[in-house]
Structure 1
Amino acid sequence: MFDFAPDETLPAEERYRQLVDAADALTAGEGDGVANMANLAALMWEFIPDLNWAGFYRVVDGELVLGPFVGRPACIRIPIGQGVCGAAASSGETQLVEDVHAFPGHIACDAASQSELVVPVVRDDTVVAVIDLDAPTKARFARADAEGIEELARRIAGRI
């Protein structure tokens, strides 16, 4: 049994280091990508304060398909290139969006979402999934959040 207890008083960089280490321990030796994504979504929910959604969209047959997550029900399929998740998948670049309502083509799966961080997961030079974090406040995510989730994506790319 794993019992990870994040310390919310730590600086973001240290909290993300602990998150990545916990993710590494939790997924080490497990070959089932869906099981790993499910545990990682729960882990992000525990480690990252002020979220209303945390999870994955997987690239399947040229579109994003909902993967394991924590939060309210979400859009099941998102075309590559559409919305914040689709932009991250098509460009292969992190999307740090302070105000989702100002993002051209934003797809509103949860009306409570005000800001979003989406990080592509790249394996063998190909985007295989995106990590999607939503928050109910504008400008919730900073560069430290993006860097922490980018490191997480690198670490778990071969495990999902």
Structure 2
Amino acid sequence: MNQLLLESAAGLFEESENNISLLSNASAFVKAYVEDLNWAGFYLFENNHLILGPFQGLPACVKIEVGKGVCGTSFKEEKTLNVADVHQFDGHIACDSNSNSELVIPLIKNGVKIGVFDIDSPIHNRFDLETEQFLTEISKLILKYYQI
């Protein structure tokens, strides 16, 4: 991934006047410009659960318990999880049976746990270091413009 894409994302995100438009454009941007994805979106922390937010892809699970699945585990542990084969992840929640690998990045701003950025691929081991770093930078841009 390259710097030009990050600059384009920054310009797009900067124009967002609220969190819904920000997250909607972020998920659309990633789905459009990162190859071999079948889902890109957000789960937001609300009422002690992760609740489905803006996304691109097939319909998804509406509510995830903190600590459950890849998303819930990433959120609870406050760390990025790059899962090469989701079928080997104990407790994986299969919203889309076509997903084979998953990258989940927790979203935390000023100590406030907002939720997670969830990206799925039908390809095993899809998220190499370069792609993970790019999506981490996208997440930092999202947090820069996210209003808490």
TM-score using structure 2 length: 0.93
Question: What's the CA shift string for 1:12-58, capped at 9, x where partnerless?
Answer: 3x1xx333322211121433101111111110011100001011111
4+ long deviations beyond 3 Å: none
> 1:86, CA displacement in angstroms?
0.6
Instruction: State the percentage of identical aligned residues.
Output: 37
Question: What's the CA shift string for 1:99-136, capped at 9, x where partnerless?
Answer: 00000100000000000001111101232121111000
SS in 2 for 1:147: helix
- The gaps in structure 2 that reach 5 residues or longer are none
Contact 1:19 1:44 (C-alpha < 8 Å) held by counterparts: no
Cα distance in structure 1, aligned partners of 2:92 and 2:131: 21
> 1:79, CA displacement in angstroms?
0.6
- Within 5 A, what are the aligned runs for 1:48-59? 48-59=34-45
1:109 counterpart = 2:109 = no
- Number of equivalences: 146
SS in 2 for 1:110: coil
- The gaps in structure 1 that reach 5 residues or longer are 1-11
Contact 1:122 1:154 (C-alpha < 8 Å) held by counterparts: no
SS in 2 for 1:42: helix
* 2:61 aligned to which of 64, 75, 95: 75
Q: CA RMSD in A?
A: 1.2
* 2:109 aligned to which of 123, 126, 129: 123
SS in 2 for 1:19: helix
- For 2:96, the aligned partner's letter is D
Contact 1:19 1:43 (C-alpha < 8 Å) held by counterparts: no
Equivalent position of 1:27 in the other structure: 13
TM-score using structure 1 length: 0.86
